[in-house]
Structure 1
Amino acid sequence: MKIFEEIESEVQSYARAFPRIFNRAKGEQMWDEEGNEYLDFLAGAGTLNYGHNNDLFKGALIDYIQNDGVTHGLDMHTKAKGEFLQTFNDKILKPRGMEYMVQFTGPTGTNAVEAAMKIARNVTGQQNIVTFTNGFHGVSLGSLAATGNSHHRDAAGVSLSGTHRIPYDGYLGENIDTTEYLDKVLSDSSSGIDSPAAVIVETVQGEGGINAASIEWLQNLQSVCKKHGLLLIVDDIQAGCGRTGDYFSFEEAGIEPDIITLSKSLGGYGLPFAVVLMKPELDQWKPGEHNGTFRGNNLAFVTAKAALEHYWSDQQFSKDIKRKGRYISERLENIVSQYGEGNFTAKGRGMFRGINCVNGEIAGKITSNAFKKGLIIETSGADDHVVKFLCPLIISDDNLKKGIDIVESAIREVCAKVDEIPEEKVYFYAG
């Protein structure tokens, strides 16, 4: 640990929660240098939907490297890029009746978000983007302006502008449709909300606390956008690539975003890769107008193609995700009813789930206790008050059960200790 303590920046975060030196990983498991085994319910914050070192992809990647395949080619045409585009079109876009142009951005999610907002502004001639409470879209300045979390925003060092913040679904209570508020302020010339270029939304807010928008709310949001001529951007960076059950998280709602951002598990193997999908009429870029040295990752093209071929050629993988998602939901609801005493709630969609805890301190104790028992799991939400379940989608049924059993055991022990605190000292999170 000495070298990390000596020269690695204080900005590190996950390393503080999981203070081990990891040196091997496979599927849903990781091992540290001492040989201790851990179940991984963090999965690279959603980057490893297909698990660590997936054998279905590894061979293709090794063959590509051994054959001196192009590693870096800027945005030049390569065989690997062409094969990815063809496979993505054949396996994902065409079966869903989706017609989009694909832009390769810099390799991370925030690069895709920056490009998406830039497209919307250039095409519409408007400057502001409508964003939502508890949204998270990245920490580069444009994406950060669209992000709600004050911990990240306060680190910017400059004023963040160019956005209008609107309450997300459920933010004002279960029975209040916040799209009606958006419609009202867009219809009122005295609302102070200038005509925006677009709305950017996550169908499930991952970092914001596993807040899942209802199908009806998403449909209403699209209707408001169409009514007022706003482009609809769906940030599917964490919720996409199968996390909620379908390849895109918005499929169940039947909406058609104008722009979609993808990253994280897009590359399949954990390799950096991000794209923007846009309706053809929005592709008004001039050559080189938006660029980046690492736009497109040829190694990730290879593994992304393999992921699409092996998991998305039929409906079986999607059905399996939904089945596991139902199991997770049932287990979490049972845990909440057994230990929560009305103070915990389960939330999320598909295999994107969380337990909303009493507060961040309690959630932190639960995840810390779980780590001691061999489970890597993180928290999310404004106050880190949600225990976030983000295991690989390919996890075995036995290990899925084992991981949730560990969380249940951790909750049981933490709740027992909380019960020992005098009642007047316990404060509950009401979110």
Structure 2
Amino acid sequence: MITPETTIFDDLESNVRGYCRSWPAVFETAQGAWLRDENGRDFLDFFAGAGALNYGHNNPLLKTALIDYLAGDGITHGLDMSTVAKRKLLETVRDTLLAPRGLDYKVQFPGPTGANAVEAALKLARKVTGRQSILSFTNAFHGMTLGALSVTGNAMKRAGAGVPLHHATPMPYDGYFDGTTADFQWMERVLDDSSSGLDRPAAVIVETVQGEGGVNLARAEWLRHLASLCSARGILLIVDDVQMGCGRTGPFFSFETAGITPDIVTLSKSIGGYGLPMALVLFKPEHDVWSPGEHNGTFRGNNPSFVTAQVALEHYWSDDVLEKSTGAKGKRVATALNDIAAAAPGISTRGRGLVHGLVFDDASQAGKVCQVAFERGLLAETSGASDEVVKLLPPLTIADDELDHGLRILGDAVETVCS
């Protein structure tokens, strides 16, 4: 029963809800980099739907395309049937994303989430190789379904599975040993030692930047070494670009700067353009060993997402304007965060493009900083093994003055908490 102290959310919605506990507001409208609650208070968004809103809230270009499509009675639910919207999207993916980068990939539409894409990628790798095991990395996050959880590092999230998570083995991510151990020393040894007890894996799955893991960055040379290691041993390389793809690190694909070509790539979040559910799995043509209907999903044919995705790709990725802008804004953020870190002990910073983190030696301070920032009108979340990182994911389309405004709020919050 609802009382004056409770709401319909408390009374009816499951305890599993999380973000609303950190941000106790009832949001009503949003535009660009801003959200407004039902009381008319504005909040600058350095969260962007966990990376699903790279082009901002209610982007007018994408909104117009979506409204026109719906007003014209366009197909909304299409399973894997052929539609005009899907054809236009596939043509745009080919002409805007793949051909200019020399990438030869087939495109699969799994269910509409990142976890759906990861599940499909793991299944495909096992089917291609005939092997079961997957190698993942420390601090990795790949989703909350059972297969995705098996290659996720966080103990709390893994415990939610309620069953043992098999057929996956974690390896140390770049920098895990703070430079005291040579890259891949352990991984190469156990892979090549027939007495190590580690079966030859079907695939390795990796994030080039671990967002949920604490904004951990893999160096380009580390990624190249990993790709070479996999290729030499007949192991497929899966890059999970669900959060870091679609331009978050600068280039459309986060692995581009490393000069590697993964066997399989997963995309979701901002691939839909407008924040609408959509996911893609890209893979080399020789790996297309699926039988018709062998992997499916009721909402793999979300045609409104196809429409907004196509327009977003055409508008933002037909040239390098957005990529260069993201790089410039990333430097702006890095400068501001370095200044914040220099002014307070026990704080460091890391990031790439428009994903950045403030890292606190005292993990409890990160959550307090986010709370104070919220009270002053900024949305930012924590990440990392102990929630020790304040993670920043502003929309790529955010204006410089908005970015500066949010960074000032963050700096003031750090000063309040840490002084």
Contact 1:242 1:249 in 2 (8 A): yes
Of residues 92, 108, 114 in structure 1, which corresponds to 2:113?
A: 108
Q: 2:335 maps to what in 1? A: 330
Query: Does 2:8 correspond to 1:6?
Result: no
Q: Aligned to 1:347, what secondary structure does the other structure show?
A: strand
Shift of 1:296: 2.6
1:117-175 per-position Cα deviation (integer Å, ceiling 9, x unaligned): 00000000000000000000001000000000001011111000010110100011135
Q: 2:131 maps to what in 1? A: 126
Of residues 239, 259, 282 in structure 1, which corresponds to 2:264?
A: 259
Q: Superposition RMSD on alpha carbons, in Å?
A: 0.8
Q: 1:55 maps to what in 2? A: 60
Contact 1:177 1:217 in 2 (8 A): no
Q: 1:209 maps to what in 2? A: 214
Q: 1:396 maps to what in 2? A: 399
Q: 1:90 maps to what in 2? A: 95
Partner Cα distance (2:362, 2:153) in 1: 19
1:65-108 per-position Cα deviation (integer Å, ceiling 9, x unaligned): 00000000110000000000001110110000000000000000
Tell me the amino acid that sits aligned with residue 253 of structure 1.
A
Of residues 180, 183, 203 in structure 1, which corresponds to 2:185?
A: 180
Show the 5 A alignment for 1:294-333. Answer: 294-333=299-338
Of residues 346, 369, 373 in structure 1, which corresponds to 2:372?
A: 369
Tell me the amino acid that sits aligned with residue 25 of structure 1.
A
Tell me the amino acid that sits aligned with residue 331 of structure 2.
R
Contact 1:273 1:297 in 2 (8 A): yes
Tell me the amino acid that sits aligned with residue 349 of structure 1.
R
1:303-327 per-position Cα deviation (integer Å, ceiling 9, x unaligned): 0011011100101110000000111
Contact 1:234 1:260 in 2 (8 A): yes
1:223-263 per-position Cα deviation (integer Å, ceiling 9, x unaligned): 11011110000000000000000000000000010000000
Show the 5 A alignment for 1:24-423. Answer: 24-339=29-344, 341=345, 343-416=346-419
Tell me the amino acid that sits aligned with residue 202 of structure 1.
E
Q: 2:3 maps to what in 1? A: none
Shift of 1:179: 2.0
Tell me the amino acid that sits aligned with residue 223 of structure 2.
L
1:385-429 per-position Cα deviation (integer Å, ceiling 9, x unaligned): 10000000000000000001100000001011xxxxxxxxxxxxx
Q: More displaced, 240-249 or 353-362?
A: 353-362
Question: With structure 2 as the length reference, what TM-score do the two structures score?
Answer: 0.98
Shift of 1:361: 1.3
Q: Aligned to 2:169, what secondary structure does the other structure show?
A: strand
Partner Cα distance (2:77, 2:301) in 1: 8
Tell me the amino acid that sits aligned with residue 156 of structure 1.
A
Partner Cα distance (1:153, 1:113) in 2: 16
Q: Aligned to 2:343, what secondary structure does the other structure show?
A: helix
1:178-227 per-position Cα deviation (integer Å, ceiling 9, x unaligned): 32321111111111110000000000000000001011100100011011
Partner Cα distance (1:324, 1:366) in 2: 22
Tell me the amino acid that sits aligned with residue 269 of structure 1.
Y
Partner Cα distance (1:73, 1:393) in 2: 30
Q: 1:423 maps to what in 2? A: none
Partner Cα distance (1:177, 1:2) in 2: 54
- List alignment gaps of at least 5 residues for structure 2: 1-5
Q: 1:421 maps to what in 2? A: none
Partner Cα distance (1:389, 1:73) in 2: 35
Contact 1:71 1:297 in 2 (8 A): yes
Question: With structure 1 as the length reference, what TM-score do the two structures score?
Answer: 0.95
Partner Cα distance (1:365, 1:402) in 2: 19
Partner Cα distance (1:327, 1:89) in 2: 33
Partner Cα distance (1:247, 1:255) in 2: 14
Q: Aligned to 1:105, what secondary structure does the other structure show?
A: coil
Q: Aligned to 2:116, what secondary structure does the other structure show?
A: helix
Partner Cα distance (1:176, 1:303) in 2: 46
Contact 1:274 1:296 in 2 (8 A): no
Partner Cα distance (1:223, 1:179) in 2: 11
Q: Kindly, what percent of the aligned residue pairs are identical?
A: 56
Q: Aligned to 2:184, what secondary structure does the other structure show?
A: helix
Tell me the amino acid that sits aligned with residue 400 of structure 1.
L
